[in-house]
Amino acid sequence: MKKIVLAMLLVAAITAVAQTASAPAPAAPTSAAPTQATSPPAPAQAAAPASAPQKPSTPAPQKKEIKDPAEYNAYVGAVQQADAAAKISGLEAFLTQYPNSVMKEDALELLMGSYQMMVGQAKTPDAAQASQNKMLDTAQKVLLVNPCNIRALALLAYTRTLQQNFADAGQFGEKGLQCLQTVTKPEGTSDADWQKLKTQTGGIFNGAAGLKAYAAKDFAKAEQYLRAALEVDPTNLVDAYDLGRAYLEPGPAEDDVNGLFFIARASNLQTGPGKDAIAKFGKSKYVKYHNGDDGWSDVLAVSATSPMPPPGFTIKKYVPPTPAEQAATLVKTKKVEDMSFAEWQMVLSEGTPDDAEKVWTVLKGKPLQMQAHIISIDTSSKTATKLMLAGSSDDIDAKRADIDLTMSAVIPAKDMPKEDTDFQFQGTPVSYVAKPFVMTMNDGALLVTAKPKPKPTIRKKPAAN
């Protein structure tokens, strides 16, 4: 019911001009026409009787004329009805009796707006839905008469958006944007009203086309259309949220600063239960981009009062240090003896020659006790067992050896470890290759972990009688 009412509010806006500028100029017949009790609403200037002599004048734009008095009376009688149901009855009767009337498009527009009024007056959801269905059906009939009727196109684009039928909504939106380039102002419409209608419908068309583009993962077009839509309606939550998401999508159209702004904007526009979820999503993206949540509250504050990013708006992007910079920091802040194998590996493979030398000087020729993961075991030698090990978590995950360990002797069968298990050992570094990194160690020895002593048996005291 809520979505139907929203759609009806839209129709009220896009059909307002039609409700007050749809009366034709009646062409007086040779016989007197029946006297009208009241004048038609906002009538155009009446044309001269067909039998009267014409005075020379400057050519004027062609006006719609109903030459049959009965047809004219039927049209005006329907238009003048204040009650929506009565107006619908009159317009449907007119269209049935005069299916080829020059006022057919105008009558269908009024009928579309009258069904909108019926939705607003409906007492049950079923009644509202029935009137909406008739309204949409009438909009389709308007397009059969004039494929570029922007009111009908806007109504269908907006309603299909509410129904989350983004493909159809986008088609109506794209068609509407094309038609706005060539559509002409209807007779009897003021310049101000016409410009207002074009602006409002343009916002609807851009929004629908943008949602279709986003659903199709054409994020560049989505950004173009949705931003144009927000220029017209800065309070549109859906357009702001999807515009933010489009900007944040990785690829050629990615623009994280704009994306974070519009997600924050959407969080401010949302007043219901989803507000916290949108803010949480935006904050997570902000932290990833900025490497901290400092400043996020400022983005929320700016987007609360500014519908578009103000001039100079920016967010500082976190640029992670290069491996060489990380290696230099390690050497300056941590003793080599306290580093992990992965940290040794980073300095020796990515650090400057000076930093690598500082680490290697400490490690070379000194027995190290550590744990690694067994990649393979070579028992072909009769003098010493050779093991290929992975000492860093990245290489363990990749099942790639970064330690070439030669034991000081053959490992006895009873002590032989298994591949793809962790292995505690002692080894002496003798050389290394920086890339791909492999450290060669000799004089390997098993490190046997002492078995835990059994816990003493604790006897409980007998319960007191």
- What's the mean pLDDT in 446-461? 59
456 falls within a domain: no
Residue carrying structure tokens 């909406």: 132
DSSP string, 97-117: H-TT-TTHHHHHHHHHHHHHH
Is residue 207 a part of any domain in this protein?
A: no
Q: Does one domain contain both 433 and 370?
A: yes
Distance CA 167, CA 15 (A): 24
For 393-403, the pLDDT digits (tens) are 999 999 999 99
Say yes or no: 284 and 336 in one domain. no
At 116 the pLDDT is: 86
> What is the model's pLDDT at position 272?
86
Q: What is the mean pLDDT of residues 432-460?
A: 77
When mean pLDDT is compared across 72-76, 89-93, 145-149, 186-190, the lowest value belongs to 186-190
Q: Is residue 410 part of a domain?
A: yes
Q: Cα-flanking dihedrals φ and ψ of residue 338, to 5°? A: -95, -5
- HSE of 358 in the Cβ direction (CA atoms, 13 Å)? 18
Query: What CATH number did the domain enclosing 422 receive?
Result: 2.40.50
The pLDDT of 226-255, averaged and rounded, is 96
- Expressed as residue numbers, the domain containing 372 is 365-450
pLDDT tens sequence across 125-184: 999 999 999 999 999 999 999 999 999 999 999 999 999 999 999 999 999 999 999 999
Statement to judge: residues 240 and 314 lie in one domain: yes
Average pLDDT of the chain? 85
Distance CA 104, CA 145 (A): 8
Q: Do 442 and 379 lie in a common domain?
A: yes
* Domain match, 403 and 446 both: yes
Res 26: pLDDT: 46
> Is residue 226 domain-resident?
no
Distance CA 70, CA 76 (A): 10
- What is the C-alpha to C-alpha distance for residues 347 and 88, in angstroms, rounded to an integer? 82
Give the span between the Cα atoms of 64 and 187, in whole angstroms: 8
Q: Is residue 409 part of a domain?
A: yes
Are 342 and 301 within one domain? no
Instruction: Report the domain count for the chain.
Output: 3
Residue 216 lies in a domain: no
Q: Which of 287, 319, 351 is the last residue of a domain?
A: 319
Question: Is residue 240 domain-resident?
Answer: yes
Place of tokens 């409700």: 19
Lowest mean pLDDT, pick from 23-32, 246-255, 317-326, 346-355: 23-32
Confidence band (pLDDT; 50, 70, 90) for 448?
confident
Which of 363, 396, 428 delimits the end of a domain?
Answer: 363
